[in-house]
Structure 1
Amino acid sequence: MPALERSGGAGMSTPGPQFERAVRRAQADGRVPAISVALHRADREPWVCTVGASGNPDHPLGVHSRFRIGSVTKTFTAVLVMQARDDGLLDLDQPISAYLDVPAHGDATIRRLLSHTAGFQREPHGDVWDTLLAPDTGRLLAELDRAERVLPNARRYHYSNLGPAVLGHLVAELRGGTWAEILADRILAPLGLTRTTVPAPPEAVVGYLVDTYSDAARPEPPVDLAGVGPAAQLWSTAGDMATWAAFLTSPEIVDPDAKVLAAATVDEMRWPLTTTDETLWAAGFGLGLILAPEGKRITHVGHDGAMPGFLAGVYGRRGGDGNPGALGCAVLGSSGTAGEINDLVHELLRLAVDLDPAEIRTWRPAPPAPAAFRSVLGRWWGEGTEFVFAWHDGQLQARAVDAPASRPPAVFEPLDGQPDVLRTASGREVGELLRLTRDDTGAVTRMHWATYRFTRRQEAFDGGWASDGPE
């Protein structure tokens, strides 16, 4: 192999030597022939670092080198499914047999397949990883009756490539095209992910199996997943994948016009539907997305990927101090065994906010609350607990007095035609109503939130003041 090489890319920011050192350490400790890392954030130019050699004599390792991203592909298929739902083409809680002619397991719902809780066996029927011959779309669907439901529907998490592959073909059926065509038209083009492709490109690096007991590295054979493609087929660059991670984290920044998906729908995808290990609770699964808790209301959202000779980690960071928004990271490597690849993506996301936090925004005065809500502001009591209602960022908000600062407030939105009724848009009691009761002067004297009474003084449920004690 050629000597180590690295590149930063013209016009790209350099976050600091600690970042490059972390990449070089992962490459050396993991013995990864080629590694490519990218960091995307809203307040900086993208950063890319490559270390190693591509194994491709015509295309040395660089920022445009492409790697297999394996199961990160599933996140694209999941977004295509959610697009179809938002367009009224499907219902997540309907069985796949409502939209696709399948010989078995048609009772599996789309939501369960997205969250890996439908009980599908891991792979399609047959020994794909012995033969390296994947079934085409027709055969994959026709042979569903030869695949097992290894667990009852909705029993627990069980990771499957078969489930997302079926969902990819369901979307293709609904849209009237191939999965690859719909992917390119509805995601890759709108987000400018021009270096993400289904077939292997000329810039492809070689994937290796690195010998455990020596420094030998054996090239792995190329594998075309054919009908299993919606689960793991894609090739991409670290730069494209860091942008994708940023989209999954902050679609309102990366895709402000919602050309790909509404921010509220991505938020729905990020809601945990299951844990991946019932004893650890260290990771969860939403609608096609892995959720890795980092503590203090911080979550890394994305997916890992593996194919023969390749590993990938693609995650964005949500929450926490110093987060600039649209913070995404991708680590792609040409080894199928180096766990350091999957660990590095989380390390770099932490370093990004620890060593290079977002600038603190200057506070500036803003217009006062509308007159109709000014009498709401201040302290109220409900269920024996004290709350503060305030007006910030153009919205009525509430939080318990003893709530930690890291907990987001409840945010309310007025209902059209009902000036004294608001809907809880986020936070505590999301979805519930807040009803205001006014006196003859128009001042709010009592409120009901999720039907619980809120008053200016602490009251028992019978309406007596706590300060009066027993009668």
Structure 2
Amino acid sequence: MTASARYERVVRKAQADGRVPALSVALHRADREPWVFTVGDSGNPVHPLGADTRFRIGSITKTFTAVLVMQCRDDGLLDLDDPIAEHLDVPAHGDATIRRLLSHTAGFQREPYGDIWDTLKAPDATEVLAQLDRAERVLPNARRYHYSNLGFAVLGQLVARLRGGSWTEVVGDRVLAPLGLTATTLNPPPQAAVGYLVDDWSDAARPEPQTDLGGVGPAAQLWSTAGDMAAWGAFLAHPAVADPHGRVLAASTVDEMRFPATVTHDAVWQSGFGLGLIIEPQGKWATHVGHDGAMPGFLASAYGRRGGEGVPDGLAAAVLGSSGTSRVINEIVHELLKLAVELDPADIRPWKIAAPAPREYRSILGHWYSEGTPFVFSWHDGSLRARLTELPPDFPPAVFEPLSGQPDVLRTVSGRETGELLRLTRDDSGEVVRMHWATYRMTRVQQGFDGGSASDGAE
């Protein structure tokens, strides 16, 4: 059975077992044409189900708002630790910081003031801010994770204010257009699928209303296709591949967004939140990065896979479904990503001879000890690297870059002790004989903190 046939079987089974009226799925990777598959019935008599059928993506919208916030930060319009009152005129909760809102740790209540899911009438952009004094801080700031649509609605208004337009205009001009996500829209186009509530006890299904979220739109308004959302997942996981010129964000900024700021449960550490992004650990150093979405009649997921063996550049998947209750929609995105690595892994690139390490760093290479523990330093892909010798070869190493004009002082730019300095000490011949990493002494032989050799024992 081919890889495509295996994918198709997974999707068909999910649609049948989950009783999803329409399911649209896409796999994206840089070295293949996108794989898109649909099964079911759109419920739209004029536009049958196909690759261009649009689905509500719900809270995946938050990832777009988060990217807009990070653009503002990179452009110097805000600091992530600014309280929102520095940028918005709010009647309450102005001390909530932008970083805390992005990571759902500001303690905002989940929804805006009022029972909007009863009335299906959302506040407009002005009302979202004006009614903040009627909304609760259900937890103290920074206490723990608490998901909040209200928090992202406020972030959307923040971006709009700083950019001098509506959130809709800003997301279109600054994200959708540069990445070519032409099927992602604020409102449902004619080819939109019907969203359903599927009856638990029969095969009946009731169409759900299409809800305009108004000022809460930055949290969950958008519609899209599986193809667009798989491409978006690739951007979130592999920005240097999906956006090589940094038109939307620098790859380093997306890296910052992916670093976990909080876990979502205090006892079950199976997922976390970065700055607007969900991080799902998959074992073997792999993670899935993206977001899920839910709106009346629709569930959606878009994730990219990072790390681990065999992961192709730009690997991402999206699953969009027209049922508001079938959680299989949010589960199979992870199954498909794992299956893609298993069935169609990245090509193994042949090893090639490369230039040697620069002469000034050659005496570093090999084994060193710190705190009595062995490390190995090596030179690969144009950079100095280090790892604990006991770790497996596929564990991400620490990577160093020399400071400008100071070749004997290097900054750790990734991996263990990121941000810390590595200082080199040389003998009269120029050989490195001692190093200090994050101020801890590193030597060629195993030493105690007093500088004595372990082999000497007690004197």
TM-score (norm 1): 0.96
- Cα deviation for residue 151 of structure 1 reads 1.1
Distance 2:103 2:416 in 1: 25
Aligned partners of 1:110 and 1:167 also within 8 Å: yes
Deviation by residue 1:140-189 (Cα, 9 ceiling, x = unmatched): 11111111111111111111110000100100000000000000111001
1:256 aligned residue: 244
> How far 1:303 sits from its partner (Å)?
0.6
Indicate the residue corresponding to 1:439 in structure 2: 427
- What is the CA distance between 1:296 and its match in structure 2? 1.8
Q: Distance in 2 between matches of 1:370 and 1:243?
A: 39
Contact residue 209 and residue 220 of structure 1 kept, 8 A: yes
Match of residue 323, structure 1, among 294, 297, 311: 311
Following TM superposition, by how much is the alpha carbon of 1:404 offset from its aligned partner in structure 2, in angstroms?
2.0
Q: Are 2:451 and 1:449 aligned?
A: no
Kept after mapping to 2: 8 A contact 1:15/1:47? no
SS in 2 for 1:39: strand
Matched residue, 1:73: 61
| SS of corresponding position for 1:102 | coil
Indicate yes or no: 2:130 matched with 1:124: no
State whether structure 2 residue 311 is matched by structure 1 residue 307: no
Return the alpha-carbon distance in structure 2 between the equivalents of residues 441 and 310 of structure 1: 69
Distance 1:15 1:189 in 2: 32
Deviations along 1:356-387, whole A, 9 cap, x unmatched?
A: 11111100100111111111111111110111
Q: Secondary structure of 1:126's partner?
A: coil
Structure 2 residue 100 is the aligned partner of structure 1 residue 112: yes
Report the alpha carbon displacement of residue 448 of structure 1 after superposing the two structures with TM: 1.1
How far off is 1:15 after superposition?
Answer: 3.5
Tell me which residue corresponds to 2:46: 58
In the TM superposition, residue 276 of structure 1 has moved relative to its aligned partner by 0.9
Q: Match for residue 5 of structure 1?
A: none
Q: 1:377 aligns with which of 362, 365, 373?
A: 365
Question: How many residue pairs align between the two structures?
Answer: 458
Within the candidate set 144, 147, 157, 1:156 is matched to 144
Q: Report runs of 4+ in structure 1 exceeding 6 Å deviation.
A: none
- 1:173 lines up with 2:161 in the alignment: yes
What amino acid is the match of 1:196? T
Q: How far 1:406 moved relative to its partner?
A: 2.8
Amino acid at match of 1:437: T
Distance 2:43 2:85 in 1: 45
- Aligned-partner Cα distance in 1 for 2:407–2:348: 36
* Per-residue CA distance 1:5-61 (angstroms, 9 max, x = gap): xxxxxxxxx842110000000100111110000000122111000001111122111
- Give the Å deviation of 1:405: 2.1
1:184-333 aligned at under 5 Å gives the runs 184-333=172-321
Residue 386 of structure 1 aligns with which residue? Answer: 374
Q: Deviations over 1:87-146 (max 9, x none)?
A: 110111111000000111111111111111111111111111111111111111111111
Determine the structure 2 residue equivalent to 1:458: 446
Report the counterpart of residue 23 of structure 2 in structure 1.
Answer: 35
Amino acid at match of 2:21: P
Deviations 1:316-370 (A, max 9, x none): 1111111012111000000001011001101100100011111111001001111
Structure 1 CA distance for aligned equivalents of residues 386 and 144 of structure 2: 36
Pair 1:469-2:432 in alignment: no
Structure 1 unaligned regions, length at least 5: 1-13
- 2:21 is the alignment partner of 1:20: no
Partner residue in 2 for 1:85 = 73
CA shift for structure 1 position 389: 0.9
* TM-score normalised by the chain length of structure 2: 0.98
Task: Tell me, in whole angstroms, the C-alpha distance in 1 between the residues paired with 2:240 and 2:170.
Answer: 22
Which secondary structure does the structure 1 equivalent of 2:131 belong to?
Answer: helix
The answer on 1:142 being equivalent to 2:145 is no
Could you tell me which residue of structure 2 aligns to residue 10 of structure 1?
none
Look up the SS of the partner of 1:353 in the other structure: helix
Note the C-alpha offset of 1:446. 1.2
Kept after mapping to 2: 8 A contact 1:313/1:331: yes
Secondary structure at 1:16 match in 2: helix
Which SS does the other structure have where 1:442 is aligned? coil
What residue number does 1:420 align with? 408
1:463, CA displacement in angstroms?
1.5
Instruction: Report the Cα distance in structure 1 between the residues aligned to 2:360 and 2:253, rounded to whole angstroms.
Output: 32
Aligned to 2:350: 362
Q: Does 1:338 align with 2:326?
A: yes
C-alpha RMSD over aligned residues: 0.9
Cα distance in 2 for residues equivalent to 1:40 and 1:230: 25
- Which structure 2 residue ranges, 5 or more long, are not aligned? none
Query: 1:425 and 1:148 mapped to 2: Cα distance?
Result: 40
Query: What secondary structure does 1:199 align onto?
Result: coil
Matched AA of 1:108: A
Between the aligned partners of 2:130 and 2:443, the Cα distance in structure 1 is: 63
Report the residue type matching 2:454 in the other structure: A
Distance in 2 separating the partners of 1:145 and 1:451: 48
Whole-Å separation in 1 of the counterparts to 2:423 and 2:123: 58
Matched position secondary structure for 1:313: strand
Tell me how far apart the structure 1 counterparts of residues 7 and 23 of structure 2 sit (CA, whole Å): 14
Task: Find the aligned partners of 2:324 and 2:166 in 1 and give their Cα distance.
Answer: 29
In structure 1, C-alpha distance between the alignment counterparts of 2:119 and 2:236, rounded to whole Å: 35
| Percent of aligned pairs with the same amino acid | 73
Within 1, Cα distance between the matches of 2:418 and 2:134?
44
